[in-house]
Amino acid sequence: MPHAHSSSAASSGGDDLGSTDEVKVFKDEGDGEDEKRSSENLLEEKSSLIDWTESEEKSGEPYSGKLSVKSDLSPVFGFFSPGKFEPHPAASFNMGYLMAPYPYPNGGAHPLPVSMTGKMGLSAGGGLSLFCPGGELGQPPPAHMGIPPPYQLDSKLAAGLARTPMYPFPGGTYPYPMLSPEMSQVAASWHTPSMYPISSAASGFRSPYPTSLPITSSSLSSELYRFSPTLGGGLGLGLGPALVPPPHSKADLFTHHSRSQEKGSSSSSAEKPADSSASNNKEQNKKPHIKKPLNAFMLYMKEMRAKVVAECTLKESAAINQILGRRWHALGREEQAKYYELARRERQLHMQLYPDWSSRANTQRGKKRKRKQETTDGGNNLKKCRARYGLDQQNQWCKPCRRKKKCVRYMEALAAAAGTVSLPMVTPQSPCSEEDVKLEELSDASSDEADTPLNSASSPGGLSALSSLASPASDPPPPPRNPVGTNPRDANNPLSVGQLTSQSWPRAAQARPGHEVISVS
């Protein structure tokens, strides 16, 4: 492992093995009305403290742990939504593999009020509501309950690194709160606690892996639980509904419940393949649909969606996702690291559960393939719009051009040539909350920094290209976000299954449409 944080780092990046970290409780100190609606729930759920104890990492047994439930305190695992914790056989366990220390009891239900964001963070110190509420900035929570960030980002880098903005904002700047000196300090020291309740429906995390056992609430049964790699219950991976009963049958293993699948149908997804057999061929029906594991951003969205929905009146996911995308970029790197780590575990678990699964199977599924994106014209079409209307009339561009934000490349290329990075073009998204307004204000105030090339790296890969420049030699080197290491199936992958290292960052400088990283050379 070329980087300092190999598997050993996973055991030292904040949580000593064998030690027990007491979960810091993030509690809303505010007294607004917002608390009212969940105060009762909060009180009720301040009944447990979950301590996560990691046992020593062993080869082939990368993650075994023990979860113990205490009383009197409501746990908040950083961004992990705590909630009512039902004592479960898995509350104390020692699983052999990939058991994530993220108890997500109650399906991710969160004891803290949703709409408190308006008065936390920002109002307190001009910071983000994403950050510590109530001014409790003194001590960060455990990194991610035993999962150290891939590496410790030095504060300077954390302060300076912003990613290429994906969204237009008033003033042509991107609201990177991290650019604020205050926020840089916060970012360097804090993990974002998830302070918001997540409705059970939208809650926490879906159960991407087979679930079948009806728990208590039928409406929640498919959402709250996910099964463990051992299929014997216990803590599920990461975020989601952690307590997962063993599936009844193998068929259950391949049953995915998701809102999208259940959309418009009262039948579960498990039944759906048979229902839609008319349109699907038999082969496809035989093969249950195994969904892709959620990536880091998806996990983040899952957690934060309810919060944004609560803050905003709008419920359209498209708009919500835009906001979440902004916040994702505004998120500190350590925060993101947690999600990357979780996503990595998701993939590992998924791989363990479905060794033969390939995403190709999903793309070739009976479902009507989504329309191809401008393949007929190829990339030329994108250039046509730009050439046709120019950058100043991007509203004239065709949808795909705008959607793919090809202009970003163009603009970034120009900016790179000029030594600065300009903004991407996207349909404007007005902020829905005070927080977002503040985000924009912050970005305006710090637009100069934001426009520096250093801050233009896309997340998170873009950071890699720049981090070395930004970080002094004495700083811990970032993990090599090399392409090789990202695919656990890759034989060369240092993070192959069975290993758990701190390396969790995605490919370096992965070029994405509209999210291109400008290499600084």
Partner DNA sequence: AGGCCTTTGAAGCAG
Partner DNA sequence: CTGCTTCAAAGGCCT
Please give the Cα distance from 443 to 454 (Å, whole number): 15
Cβ-Cβ contacts under 8 Å for 174 (sequence gap 6 or more): 162, 165, 166, 167, 329, 423, 443, 447, 450
515 to each of 202, 251, 378, 409, 462, how far by Cα in Å? 28, 40, 19, 8, 9
Both structure tokens of 232: 């014997």
Per CB under 7 A, the segment of 89-97, 135-143, 373-381, 434-442 that binds DNA is 373-381
Residues 442-471 that bind DNA (CB under 7 A): 458-460
Residue 287 interacts with DNA (CB under 7 A)? no
- Kindly state the DSSP code that residue 79 receives in the 8-state scheme: T
The smaller minimum CB distance to DNA, of residues 17 and 413, is found at: 413
Cβ-Cβ contacts under 8 Å for 476 (sequence gap 6 or more): 4, 5, 151, 152, 154
Residues 109-168 that bind DNA (CB under 7 A): 166-167
- Dihedral angle of Cα 461, 466, 470, 475, to the nearest 10 degrees: 50
Binder to DNA among 6, 258, 285, 352 (CB under 7 A)? 258
Binder to DNA among 40, 71, 263, 491 (CB under 7 A)? 263
Residue 403 interacts with DNA (CB under 7 A)? yes
Render the burial of 95-105: b for 16+ CB within 10 Å, e for the rest.
Answer: bebbbbbbbbb
Per CB under 7 A, the segment of 1-9, 48-56, 122-130, 198-206 that binds DNA is 198-206
Residue 352 interacts with DNA (CB under 7 A)? no
- Tell me, by CB under 7 A, how many residues bind DNA: 82
Binder to DNA among 19, 217, 358, 395 (CB under 7 A)? 358
Please give the Cα distance from 452 to 413 (Å, whole number): 14
Residue 512 interacts with DNA (CB under 7 A)? yes
Binder to DNA among 31, 40, 216, 264 (CB under 7 A)? 264
Strands 65-70 and 49-54: antiparallel
Residue 217 interacts with DNA (CB under 7 A)? no
Per CB under 7 A, the segment of 7-15, 84-92, 153-161, 292-300 that binds DNA is 292-300
433 to each of 165, 310, 320, 323, 459, how far by Cα in Å? 19, 10, 11, 10, 24
| Nearest of 506, 511, 504, 353 to residue 13 by alpha carbon | 504
The smaller minimum CB distance to DNA, of residues 3 and 347, is found at: 347
State the minimum distance, in angstroms, from the CB of residue 87 to DNA. Answer: 25
Per CB under 7 A, the segment of 39-47, 117-125, 171-179, 315-323 that binds DNA is 315-323
Binder to DNA among 267, 317, 395, 492 (CB under 7 A)? 317
Per CB under 7 A, the segment of 125-133, 176-184, 291-299, 471-479 that binds DNA is 291-299
Binder to DNA among 9, 25, 426, 454 (CB under 7 A)? 426
- Side chain identity, residue 418: A
Please give the Cα distance from 285 to 147 (Å, whole number): 39
Binder to DNA among 216, 371, 472, 491 (CB under 7 A)? 371
Binder to DNA among 58, 248, 250, 315 (CB under 7 A)? 315
Binder to DNA among 88, 347, 386, 438 (CB under 7 A)? 347
Q: Answer whether 234's CB lies under 8 Å from 98's CB.
A: no
State the minimum distance, in angstroms, from the CB of residue 365 to DNA. Answer: 6
